[in-house]
Amino acid sequence: MQDSRNIKECLDKLLNDNDRVFIIPHNRPDMDALGASIGMSLICKKNKKRSFIVVDDDIEKIESATRKVIEDVKNEFDFIKASDIPNYITDKSLMIAVDVNKTNLISVTKYLSDFNDIFILDHHKTDNNTIKTPYLFIDEKMSSACEEVSRLLFLNGVKITKDHANYLLAGIMLDTNRLTKNVSTETFSVAAKLTSRGADSMVANNMFLEDFDHDRAIQRLVDNTIFPTYIFAIASDRDDSGKTYDIEDIAKASDYLLKYQVNATFAIAYIDEETVSISARSKGIIDVSKIMKLFGGGGNEHSGAARVKGMSIEDIKNKLNNILIPANYIDFEAVNEEEKQLSLKKSI
């Protein structure tokens, strides 16, 4: 795990060198990206720097939890579109990207060269699309962006309200599937400190309550689950269903499958007429980011995703099945030898 004090020292210098800050979450931000963005904005306020949170998506297309928080805090923080950046940027502006490090997952790619400095705080693996900057702080073992931003808030002595604490705790709970995966003693320590500052796990959990339509969408995918080997589960829609899904619902279906005795899960469905989204989750034995890279995506050991055009759901399932067959699985040494032999027997 990276030293939070070193991250703070670098961020302090960049804030001192610049007069404005543009905080960039990934497209269609979830609670981890938004909570981390709000936390970073609070750090900027403590340092007397004006900051802007850039959310370029149509507010109606953002998941309900995130949308509600944006509505609740829009008078407290400056939210702008990417197209507004030229109206506010100066020759001493800092860009802070949270919960993202790739150019193809942000809305401000064409403005990257306009920033004086770029600081990235993330927990997803880098690849050829990673933003070029010397200030790249990536820790794949970190549970969430909100965990590290919370530590920075504590180190900076920033006073946070119970609402802010709840947003940060919700981000941690989202990326850890309610503190059940990719957590460390540090994760629980941060959660405890947020609780001492007013966060309530019940309130944070209630941010993720589903409405009926979204719950049905998730369950449709879960109901159509196959288990190609005893350690994998794949949920999917039918190619001929005519339905499109929110990316968040596909991700939640993949999260849901982790309740079963499997090591990695996948959910597959159309998000528009041409694009299929794949969401992958792992309990840590299998690095799903390596599998998602085979579909042009990425992620980290515990969480990955990809968007695919030109392939049907069945095509993707067949390719995924071939990858997951133990004899062909590219990184099967990640599974211990006993599990490997058991799975080989089941596949014969």
pLDDT at 224 over 90: yes
Domain boundaries, the chain: 4-206, 212-347
pLDDT of res. 334: 43
pLDDT at 61 over 90: no
Q: What is the pTM of this model?
A: 0.77
Flag the least confident range among 15-29, 95-109, 207-221, 246-260.
207-221
214: number of Cβ within 10 Å: 17
When the pLDDT of each residue in the chain is averaged and rounded to a whole number, the result is 91
Band of pLDDT at residue 347, cut at 50, 70 and 90:
very low
State the distance between the two ends of the chain, measured CA to CA, in whole angstroms.
41
pLDDT of res. 107: 96
CATH 3.90.1640.10 assigned to domain 4-206? The reply is yes
pLDDT of res. 214: 87
Give the residue carrying structure tokens 């071939």.
322
pLDDT at 244 over 90: yes
- In CATH, the architecture of 212-347 is Roll (3.10)
pLDDT at 230 over 70: yes
pLDDT of res. 165: 98
Band of pLDDT at residue 330, cut at 50, 70 and 90:
very low
Give me the mean pLDDT over the 175-192 stretch. 93
Give me the mean pLDDT over the 329-348 stretch. 42
